[in-house]
Structure 1
């Protein structure tokens, strides 16, 4: 067991020892366990011998017998050497640690090229936390990387816990009983069931860890101050004023009491275990205090202190030390540089922020990153009359992020709509995956400036990205997220989703008492793609409340209407209150949404609330009709996403993953930095995934061109391979319809004389394709997003107009369809101006195969199929450029791992 070398070097020696063994660094991971605590998983090291002996000595005789089938009171030096010295290929071993102490061991030993025997040993004191499941998951992922496809294990019949680990992992497990031992075996290649189990466990663990933070019974304020306007004093005052229902423990080295509460010199002196410690101390003191919190059994931290990565290079180093120390102690942390958190649950009532006035209790969950935006979000919610359930500010997002809060909100019965203000994103793939699950049950509204390095505030840990902004938009659309431009639009949408039912379609009625507002509303609907099927109905300014009610009732009752827009200027005769009453009474009769404009009003409440069944709702009011219609359009598109079939994961047949692995390994063995593949290599690689690249013969000289043409089937084409002219509009570097040797000679002579001065006279001969639509299908590995698949129609739509659609694997069949339809030039594929439509199924299959190739193999830096000739009878891949590089460590790998 390796301890810290010094308090400010947390975990460094432990990590170095793992690297020194030669094991891949990416095998190390921090994971959230079943109870919400954090463990560190890493490859075993020779330095672990002492720790393993200590681990063994603490195990019960029963656990030792279940593991070794014998009562081994002490491990021999020979056993210790064998356990700690592995080759990380045929013999792999992992340990799980908490605060440097080994709490679990998992290992496998290869039996033959494709199978291995697996075994686990979990500390008696940490059983029931899901450590065995985590170890199995990680060992299975490593084994697959090394060509192993099947695990076996020998288990005593009474070892029900280990049998349960195998049984509940989602694999098809077979059992064989012989000589008093049960031999289990199962394929470890991921299945839909095993993936589902893994994601479900991740969800439950991360949601549980958030509940620990959001529902503390005992809170310590480290840095509580007697100075009236200090941050520590303001924070404590707000917690007290908010009516926190738990126990408060101010920590101060000298004071006896602060604000009427007994104080304690340090966290070690608090008489009860603390659930949440809030740090408002100087940055340079935090690491030492966090270590004390870990020793005292604190479950989670909220760090409001600033002076970390946002403050410069030294702050970056300090923040990383903080992160390592928190993870080492098994805690979760919000911050540093956080604005705080709020839980309005009546059993908690925690306002651990610097905001003295917070929105009332409601059903809106809010997440923001920086403190300034936290202030803006809370203030805007309060002005709108929108109550919140939970609010959290991640600050520098060293640990807890929006992904963690979304995991919690999936099951939270007190939250109906979620709003996120994201200034940066550390793990888009995981965000997309979790957001999709959350959006299935409740609206997710996101304000984001994008994912570029320019958008990330100082202090946020994120990677560079090479994808265009459209790829981020596509990720949000895939996940069913409602993206808005600013905080005002976030609440425009939120007040609609919180207080009105989702629309059944995009048909809109418009009712008001102003021709101008009616026309403005109709124009706004049309600009957003909504259909005006009723009205605009414009009453006279002197209309009575009964006339208002009659017009609205007719609009709601119209079966051709899914939503109603009500836009009113102050009437000349009728009182505002009478109009409000008429509106809310009519709206309450129907399960259709209504957005209203009462000039001078914005938000909910103010006489517009009503009870419908057992639900209290309100007619949301907007300053101008365009605001409400923009929100209505966003919610309508979300409702359509939520009600549609999201399809099933693409799973093309005839795929040989091992062949691609062997080819890429061979390339990287001779070119460690990676390189572009030759055409023959590309053809071989693509063929392993069922993608047929058409032959093309490189030629130098007229007669070589003729011989190549004779080898292929006439007619043929002759084309330049130079990037200067390749795939250019007008086919400047191509001659087609060459039907015999003479035409090949003429074409070669013509193109050579024309392109020779440009140095573009490098040619290939290829069989002539059937006329169709030329397309580009591309996959690239992005440092932030991982694999990104793109589709476009070749030529000007791609090169001049940027008409390219993007999706993030893994894809469903619906995602593939949306990708093809996502380009503006898509009508060309359906038979534009009398042309024959292309074979959509064949094109979709090609995209699916490329997406799986990219998802399976992060070594695929880029794969561009260009041109792809799509026609009535199928698709022809005429060209391909493949670049292989060492794999990047993906942010969302195939095993649970905190980022």
Structure 2
């Protein structure tokens, strides 16, 4: 039995919707838990009501109401999660969950519901109303509700403003002293932007509370645990904190060994409030420690120890328990298995709440690394190069805090110019893409993923499975504008040029080399990196006098036809040329022309290649071990600069596309099928109905069994026609005889039917009972294939390629991950290597690429707005000089299971 009715409404009596539970970050950076209301919440709801002020109660119920009657209480807590839905925000305490906010709706029509909110007086101003509205609207859309209405007292301006500030188009009128408001809850560009902005500000503030903590408590396993691993972790991080920023107040509890600071026996003895806790205790006791930290108003907990989700189901339960305790008390969690955090303060002082005995120098590069062991290697390389760091965060298993949270923070942080991320896994690629694109438009983001595919899932990481090709992640990163590199060595190579040199103005490259052979080597490396040698190549002999050195450097930077400079000096005898180093540093700073160098005995960021420009700003020419490293880093910088300066496009809104109607259709079809999670293949008629909602109309076709039926179909459609077999292996293969085109009359059609049936007889199965299909002829052009597949991890994935075996066998398929912009669609079409066939290849007329892009845009919008669309294939799509015709379409649908929304905080 399906769990929705024929009109798309879920049936009453559904089980408790656990999927609606989520931890959320509020406006003030703290966290809370949102879940559906349960019957056993009666006492908590009564306590919430009694604790409200008289004014709040009056605004909610339009009357003074000291207590809820037993009847009212029973009615409020007993909801069916369909027509009557209630969500509560709760905080955890010693006495269980305490309700701090309630949101509910009651359906009053097919797709309309009356909505009401009530936020605890002590928690108003934290953004609870906005968060609950986002959650309630999402739940309502799942239940077929598309519009909220409410009756509000005129003095309840706060509630009316919540509706308006959510980005919905609110209509209101006043009758008999009551303000009636109503608004559609389907997402719009504005409402999505508002949600994304709320999410950004909340997550950035939560990270600010962690990274800018002015007091820290280190919790160890106990004074008698000096020989344990947890004891050594606690002692190390405490020692590092005590030699860091002296303005940070440091407390210690249960840290073994001879510690030069008072050590408390119990957390209850620590004076609060405390901004940050670093916990190094066995996993079995971590939950109790986390609960005890709530009394200190801790913003964030860094968990150094392991023993959690990487150890299987029992470990996952321990990890969930720690998260529940932390989020219920408003705390973020970094880890488990974290290496810690380092944060640079004003004046270059550092909060070193990490295991790094020697922290990286202060600077303007933000680094994020999931793995604790790789953090050791990464920080060692940072120190060797002299790279300065604004913040460093190791998220370990990233059970809570992830790279997305840090990117939200770095977008607003004036002390960070460049961001580098080492990612072992992406738990939410769609959110990553949204957040990274926003940040990349402001600051460079450099990413290295574990493995080339980026789909490695280390033990302990909560990641959905994926069936997407490895290139999908590359497309997500490309669309986001991030610089993807192969390893941490390249990450630092690129970071040091982007942080210490201006963005390249272009790709034209001038070269200064110590010999002709070296110049040739550098020119090859420059071309391989995607740069262009401008023609200005200066050769400077090893024994050149200072005047000759200065003249050569001046000539190089005076060249108006170059955008970037590569300097390479590899002497066969002798030491460094101090004159050359000084001249390059001075001219690079004054000209602000992006420069990289490969100079013997210099590596990373050095004083020898540092100078100030005319405004007094300091610039450093980064030094590399090899010319190839220098050129590769410069090439990445140039590509990023070009992406950032380019037009990123506008959201897609194809004329006539109505995804709301598509959702209603699919809900009805799913209701008519047996319950289950399997995919349901749509027949041709339903596929055509679904595509029609977004303005896509396949050419009409008719399935037939024999020549008589084929002729009758052709008479109805109109000559000429196309004849196709329904055998899957031959369906689109005109070259093998499975498709006959431009069939002009009955005699030709009957002959073709006999030949196609004979050809198909060698195959065991056909698609359906009818072995043939007759279709109207499309104008001649190039055949393409457009597909959409719903992936458990990435969500909808759009692919495009020209039809044929060559495209499939050679992998000439371009991928895009919605939401796409019009520029994204244009790039998707042009990414395929065979795309020149669409633009007038070898003198042929150019085809109607605009019509093809419009078609892809409609598919993208449908796939993005309809998570129930399991798969869609348009094959072939014939692009002619005037238009794009869809000749074949297949689709399947299933229950929605997309793990992406701005309102959700990932949970294990």
Q: Same fold (TM over 0.5)?
A: yes
Provide the rounded CA distance (Å) in 2 between the counterparts of 1:304 and 1:393: 10
Q: Is the 8 A contact 2:271 2:296 kept in 1?
A: no
Provide the rounded CA distance (Å) in 2 between the counterparts of 1:749 and 1:552: 79
Report the counterpart of residue 601 of structure 1 in structure 2: 602
Report the counterpart of residue 821 of structure 2 in structure 1: 812
CA shift at 1:421, angstroms?
Answer: 0.3
Q: Is the 8 A contact 1:542 1:574 kept in 2?
A: no
Deviations, residues 9-58 of structure 1 (Å, cap 9, x unaligned):
xxxxxxxxxx9963533322211011111111122222221111110111
Q: Secondary structure at the match of 2:492?
A: helix
Q: Secondary structure at the match of 1:154?
A: strand
Counterpart of 1:841 (choices 815, 825, 850) is 850
Report the counterpart of residue 4 of structure 1 in structure 2: none
Q: Are 2:619 and 1:621 aligned?
A: no
Q: Is the 8 A contact 1:790 1:804 kept in 2?
A: yes
Relative distance call for 1:422 and 1:43 in structure 2 (3 A) is same
Report the counterpart of residue 12 of structure 1 in structure 2: none
Counterpart of 2:219 (choices 218, 222, 225) is 222
Provide the rounded CA distance (Å) in 2 between the counterparts of 1:306 and 1:25: 28
Provide the rounded CA distance (Å) in 2 between the counterparts of 1:69 and 1:31: 30
Provide the rounded CA distance (Å) in 2 between the counterparts of 1:550 and 1:305: 59
Report the counterpart of residue 14 of structure 1 in structure 2: none
Alignment of 1:678-827 (within 5 A): 678-728=683-733, 730-759=735-764, 762-827=771-836
Report the counterpart of residue 110 of structure 2 in structure 1: 113
Q: Is the 8 A contact 2:195 2:902 kept in 1?
A: no
* Larger mean Cα displacement after TM superposition, 143-152 or 823-832: 143-152
Q: Is the 8 A contact 1:424 1:450 kept in 2?
A: no
Alignment of 1:272-311 (within 5 A): 272-311=272-311
Provide the rounded CA distance (Å) in 2 between the counterparts of 1:314 and 1:451: 31
CA shift at 1:523, angstroms?
Answer: 1.1
Relative distance call for 1:20 and 1:536 in structure 2 (3 A) is farther
Report the counterpart of residue 392 of structure 1 in structure 2: 393
Report the counterpart of residue 654 of structure 1 in structure 2: 656
Relative distance call for 1:658 and 1:168 in structure 2 (3 A) is closer
Unaligned runs of 5+ in 2: 1-11
Provide the rounded CA distance (Å) in 1 between the counterparts of 2:456 and 2:567: 38
Report the counterpart of residue 24 of structure 1 in structure 2: 17
Q: Is the 8 A contact 1:668 1:674 kept in 2?
A: no
Provide the rounded CA distance (Å) in 1 between the counterparts of 2:221 and 2:384: 30
Q: Are 2:29 and 1:62 aligned?
A: no
Report the counterpart of residue 94 of structure 1 in structure 2: 87
Provide the rounded CA distance (Å) in 2 between the counterparts of 1:95 and 1:447: 40
* Larger mean Cα displacement after TM superposition, 140-149 or 271-280: 140-149
Report the counterpart of residue 663 of structure 1 in structure 2: 665
CA shift at 1:759, angstroms?
Answer: 2.8
* Larger mean Cα displacement after TM superposition, 391-400 or 160-169: 160-169
Report the counterpart of residue 901 of structure 2 in structure 1: 893
Deviations, residues 826-872 of structure 1 (Å, cap 9, x unaligned):
10110111222111111111001000110111111110111110111
Deviations, residues 414-457 of structure 1 (Å, cap 9, x unaligned):
11000000011101000110001111111000011359696121
Provide the rounded CA distance (Å) in 2 between the counterparts of 1:20 and 1:364: 54
Provide the rounded CA distance (Å) in 2 between the counterparts of 1:81 and 1:879: 55
Q: Is the 8 A contact 2:590 2:612 kept in 1?
A: no
Q: Is the 8 A contact 1:693 1:879 kept in 2?
A: yes
Relative distance call for 1:894 and 1:500 in structure 2 (3 A) is closer
Report the counterpart of residue 323 of structure 1 in structure 2: 323
CA shift at 1:109, angstroms?
Answer: 2.3
Report the counterpart of residue 359 of structure 2 in structure 1: 358
Q: Secondary structure at the match of 2:481?
A: coil
Q: Secondary structure at the match of 2:591?
A: coil
Provide the rounded CA distance (Å) in 1 between the counterparts of 2:807 and 2:246: 58
CA shift at 1:119, angstroms?
Answer: 1.3
CA shift at 1:318, angstroms?
Answer: 2.1
Report the counterpart of residue 497 of structure 2 in structure 1: 496
Q: Is the 8 A contact 1:724 1:760 kept in 2?
A: no
Report the counterpart of residue 647 of structure 2 in structure 1: 645
Provide the rounded CA distance (Å) in 2 between the counterparts of 1:663 and 1:704: 31
Provide the rounded CA distance (Å) in 1 between the counterparts of 2:197 and 2:547: 54
CA shift at 1:814, angstroms?
Answer: 0.4
Report the counterpart of residue 476 of structure 1 in structure 2: 477
CA shift at 1:370, angstroms?
Answer: 0.8
Report the counterpart of residue 146 of structure 1 in structure 2: 143
Q: Secondary structure at the match of 1:117?
A: strand
CA shift at 1:356, angstroms?
Answer: 0.7
Provide the rounded CA distance (Å) in 1 between the counterparts of 2:342 and 2:432: 22
Q: Secondary structure at the match of 2:735?
A: coil
Superposed CA RMSD = 2.1
CA shift at 1:571, angstroms?
Answer: 7.8
Counterpart of 2:680 (choices 666, 675, 686) is 675
Q: Is the 8 A contact 2:284 2:318 kept in 1?
A: yes
CA shift at 1:271, angstroms?
Answer: 1.7
Q: Secondary structure at the match of 2:751?
A: helix
CA shift at 1:175, angstroms?
Answer: 3.1
Q: Are 2:38 and 1:37 aligned?
A: no
* Larger mean Cα displacement after TM superposition, 305-314 or 855-864: 305-314
Q: Is the 8 A contact 2:576 2:600 kept in 1?
A: no
Report the counterpart of residue 172 of structure 1 in structure 2: 169
Deviations, residues 524-576 of structure 1 (Å, cap 9, x unaligned):
22223321113332222322233233223223222221111111123868952
Provide the rounded CA distance (Å) in 2 between the counterparts of 1:573 and 1:357: 34
Report the counterpart of residue 344 of structure 2 in structure 1: 344
Report the counterpart of residue 635 of structure 2 in structure 1: 633
Provide the rounded CA distance (Å) in 2 between the counterparts of 1:894 and 1:219: 31
CA shift at 1:234, angstroms?
Answer: 1.4
Report the counterpart of residue 4 of structure 2 in structure 1: none
* Larger mean Cα displacement after TM superposition, 83-92 or 99-108: 83-92
Provide the rounded CA distance (Å) in 2 between the counterparts of 1:878 and 1:392: 52
Report the counterpart of residue 9 of structure 1 in structure 2: none
Relative distance call for 1:232 and 1:171 in structure 2 (3 A) is same
Q: Is the 8 A contact 2:275 2:298 kept in 1?
A: yes
Q: Secondary structure at the match of 1:221?
A: strand
Q: Secondary structure at the match of 1:343?
A: strand
Q: Secondary structure at the match of 1:55?
A: helix
Q: Is the 8 A contact 2:453 2:473 kept in 1?
A: no
* Larger mean Cα displacement after TM superposition, 489-498 or 157-166: 157-166
Q: Are 2:867 and 1:858 aligned?
A: yes
Counterpart of 1:160 (choices 149, 157, 161) is 157
Report the counterpart of residue 7 of structure 1 in structure 2: none
CA shift at 1:636, angstroms?
Answer: 0.6
Provide the rounded CA distance (Å) in 2 between the counterparts of 1:138 and 1:857: 18
CA shift at 1:146, angstroms?
Answer: 3.4
Report the counterpart of residue 9 of structure 2 in structure 1: none
Relative distance call for 1:379 and 1:880 in structure 2 (3 A) is same
Q: Secondary structure at the match of 1:463?
A: coil
Deviations, residues 771-806 of structure 1 (Å, cap 9, x unaligned):
111111111111101111111111134211011111
Provide the rounded CA distance (Å) in 2 between the counterparts of 1:45 and 1:75: 16
CA shift at 1:717, angstroms?
Answer: 1.6
Q: Is the 8 A contact 2:341 2:393 kept in 1?
A: yes
Relative distance call for 1:168 and 1:757 in structure 2 (3 A) is closer
Q: Is the 8 A contact 2:24 2:903 kept in 1?
A: no
Provide the rounded CA distance (Å) in 2 between the counterparts of 1:574 and 1:273: 57
Provide the rounded CA distance (Å) in 2 between the counterparts of 1:876 and 1:456: 42
Q: Is the 8 A contact 2:472 2:815 kept in 1?
A: yes
CA shift at 1:896, angstroms?
Answer: 4.4
Provide the rounded CA distance (Å) in 2 between the counterparts of 1:398 and 1:896: 14
Relative distance call for 1:894 and 1:868 in structure 2 (3 A) is farther
Relative distance call for 1:172 and 1:20 in structure 2 (3 A) is closer
Report the counterpart of residue 550 of structure 1 in structure 2: 551
Provide the rounded CA distance (Å) in 2 between the counterparts of 1:895 and 1:283: 29
Report the counterpart of residue 379 of structure 1 in structure 2: 380
CA shift at 1:343, angstroms?
Answer: 0.8
Provide the rounded CA distance (Å) in 2 between the counterparts of 1:164 and 1:665: 33
Q: Secondary structure at the match of 1:730?
A: helix
Alignment of 1:114-129 (within 5 A): 114-129=111-126
Q: Pick 1 or 2: higher relative contact order, CA cutoff 8 A, min separation 6.
A: 2
Q: Secondary structure at the match of 1:757?
A: coil
TM-score, normalising length: structure 1: 0.94
Deviations, residues 579-628 of structure 1 (Å, cap 9, x unaligned):
11111121122121011110332211141111122421101111111111
